[in-house]
């Protein structure tokens, strides 16, 4: 498995070309690739602003909503938490990696995208609390692939102990977001090799 974090598609292409020209390429057989971008989730902000717009008699997308959203997004973008999400680094002290793609269900009766913004926000907050129990043991990088791949998201987990991947994914499967609304692709697990 080769993981490239780069700032542009061109830089990803350069990394792929460099790998293809390396001596290691002779023993590698590509069987799968996944392209995605880092992003900061805005469920909590947009849900808060939608409620505020309704309370003041406005609506989502009006001038006040748009102005407030721009300010909140700018503040989020400047936070260390969001910077770590947008510009991830492979942790030096976590030697194992797990990657899998996933999408939200769009089945009749289980369509994530027909839920209200408040409901999706509530579910994602609960989902995040499940993951936070693994803080310090697992570092995650969530990337968006809508329009870039058949799957909607890529999940990359770094860990000190690969058994923590199993424990976390098992806990997540009992979380309502995953149990009711998630579809998972193949899982790829390995040990990080540093040149």
Catalytic center residues: 100
Distance, in Å, from the CA atom of 13 to the CA atom of 148, rounded to the nearest integer, reads 15
Q: Judge contact between 49 and 65, C-beta under 8 A.
A: yes
- Tokens 């780069």 — which residue? 6
* Angle ∠(119,167,129) on CA atoms, nearest 5: 30
If phi over 0 gives left and psi between -120 and 50 gives alpha, with beta otherwise, what is residue 176? alpha
- The crossing angle, in degrees rounded to 10, of helices 117-132 and 43-55 is 140
Q: Pseudo-torsion of CA 17, 23, 26, 31, nearest 10°?
A: -50
Give dist(CA 50, CA 48) in Å, integer: 6
């Amino acid at each position: 498995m080769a993981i490239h974090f780069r700032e542009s598609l061109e830089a990803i292409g350069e990394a792929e070309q460099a790998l293809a020209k390396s001596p290691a390429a002779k023993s590698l057989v590509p069987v799968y690739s996944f392209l995605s971008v880092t992003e900061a989730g805005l469920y909590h902000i947009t849900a808060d602003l939608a409620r505020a717009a309704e309370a003041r008699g406005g609506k989502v997308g009006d001038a006040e909503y748009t102005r407030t959203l721009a300010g909140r997004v700018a503040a989020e973008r400047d936070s260390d938490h969001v910077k770590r999400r947008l510009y991830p680094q492979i942790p030096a002290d976590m030697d194992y990696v797990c990657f899998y793609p996933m999408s939200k269900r769009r089945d009749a009766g289980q369509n994530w995208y027909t839920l209200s913004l408040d409901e999706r926000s509530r579910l994602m907050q609960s989902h995040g609390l499940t993951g936070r129990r693994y803080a310090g043991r697992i570092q995650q990088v969530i990337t968006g692939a809508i329009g870039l791949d058949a799957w909607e998201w890529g999940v990359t987990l770094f860990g000190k102990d690969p058994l923590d991947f199993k424990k976390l994914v098992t806990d997540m499967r009992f979380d309502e977001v995953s149990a009711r609304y998630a579809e998972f692709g193949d899982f790829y697990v390995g040990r990080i090799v540093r040149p």
